[in-house]
Structure 1
């Protein structure tokens, strides 16, 4: 085919011509310019899917048994399983009660979320089966319900180094020293409990102990003993593992709103999707910027005359009524004396800024009042009641008439 054939379309038709036309069109098309953008979007999509899949393989949250995050407890669970303790995550009170009836151990990670019916069921199951119940930082109501006499004795939000005393006994669980650090994602503080008669306590701080053992119930006062971030400090692993290890199995009970016996139904905030909070924050910032831009002044403030005029005597009467309502006798007397002094100074031909002594000296030759009386009349003499205020007004008026 000649060069002219390339510039003008050939009149031929058929499959051969169509194939030739396709080949020529493909050779003439420029390479796509957005290939890099498409590749970046595809990689970002794949990364998002991979993160979602990885995060979906475990449930992240405070003291979740399969969460590798700092607030999770995967490390403690793995060590317990290596020691022969089968750890079963539980989210229903009935499952935890069944473990207690079978003589096993149940850890309650959030005992403060238990309702009255849940507490009664777990307490009855422990008494029937003789299992061991481990409570992590229970409040006053839950602690006294499971272990009478054990109640919070104090809290701290600072890192604390505790050592086992000579009288710890079984409450030490093989640990000699603990470095407790509050976990903000769980509670934000550590709790210490009283030790009643017949119970054993260890790692004392102030009037309480961080670990209390009372009649098959173990109370742990710090969540840092079980989190991935803090379990490796000092003897925390020994205490956590010895208090939870059980050949018959460990029920890792996490109270949740999905439990049929739970008294914590999902609230409106629980139903809001996770992306709503960033969106609300973004809208708040945009609204603030818009209001800031709209509220900016575009010029100087324009002073406009008032549309009405008020007579002087009306303003005087209104001001007098306000002072009367507020019982501001001294303010009213000060205003009367100031106005009278200004008028008297003008009539005598002296400056307004003249001191009161000079005004009194100028008034003395023209009035029957002596200097002391003039000072008392024009000076800051307190006014006791309305009668004295009226008398002051009359005396000032008489003085002005006399000078006139």
Structure 2
């Protein structure tokens, strides 16, 4: 006789065993996907873009999160705004997908016209008693943290984003991301659930077998290991590596560059982790030879030996190096499809072919993202299989996956599921 599977989302959440992956239905069911969108992509802070996506007044770009469409723009006063892409007349979309330049936001349906601050300035044939002041565009709550744009679609955004602001403001300041330039962008659709995408990124247990390009600059010891499986020589090498980490972190921080690990991964609403990591080999950047891809360093940076400041978030991961940054945003499309949007940032005045080679800049993370897309598709196909049972996480290499799964369960239950 087949085991009866839980029919409610709450029952699925309740049977998840600590230290193990999630029950299959939490990855595959459409009702769970709708709940995820409600809880994690409407009631929590999510990354949607960058200040440098809209560098000049009038620059605008549309970002769709499920059924919600947002306009990220820079207004005439050079201020960032995030507006709902919904006309206050009868709801038509104001702007289509992608980037554009606008002086005003004009609805193509009935020409209702809005200023770039969201105020309604023109609504023909609505009568003398019509109050335009009551029909401005709906604003979305947003924060720019070191040039990264976070949005919460709830009327009651979680307050613990304050710790992310406090931690990342000083860490990101030298990179001056709000004044950087997007040198390249890719959109890759992974054939898997968004949680599998995030889980895949939060461990490097798989890296040595699947990411040869990335492993040139990544230090595999940073991502966990079973000490009992190491030879005495390898154990001494690991001990030496961690002594180097302690010394390097002390030096970086003494020089004014916050570097120690800081995380808010459980018992919280806003989920993040950051640490300055040593870059292997030449030690400069995540490229095929670990040397810098751009001669013109980011922002106010004057050094190429400051490692990789990584930042994980609920729907993003980021790497900030002396010469460039890689910013990735995850947007669920369905229970089984996930958009992974990656942007490579350089100094705003860096010139392609003069200051940087685009191929060298992008090749490592293009290869890594394609490899990860294949792994996520394999994982999703596996959780669809009737033979799937939640498996145990490595207590050496996958502790952050257990934290993510525990946080996921906790947040779903906190919102009534």
Q: TM-score, normalised by structure 2?
A: 0.24
Question: Which entry has the higher C-alpha Rg, 1 or 2?
Answer: 1
Higher percent of residues as helix: 1
Under a length normalisation based on structure 1, what TM-score does the superposition of the two structures give?
Answer: 0.24
- Larger relative CO (CA 8 A, sep 6+): 1 or 2? 2
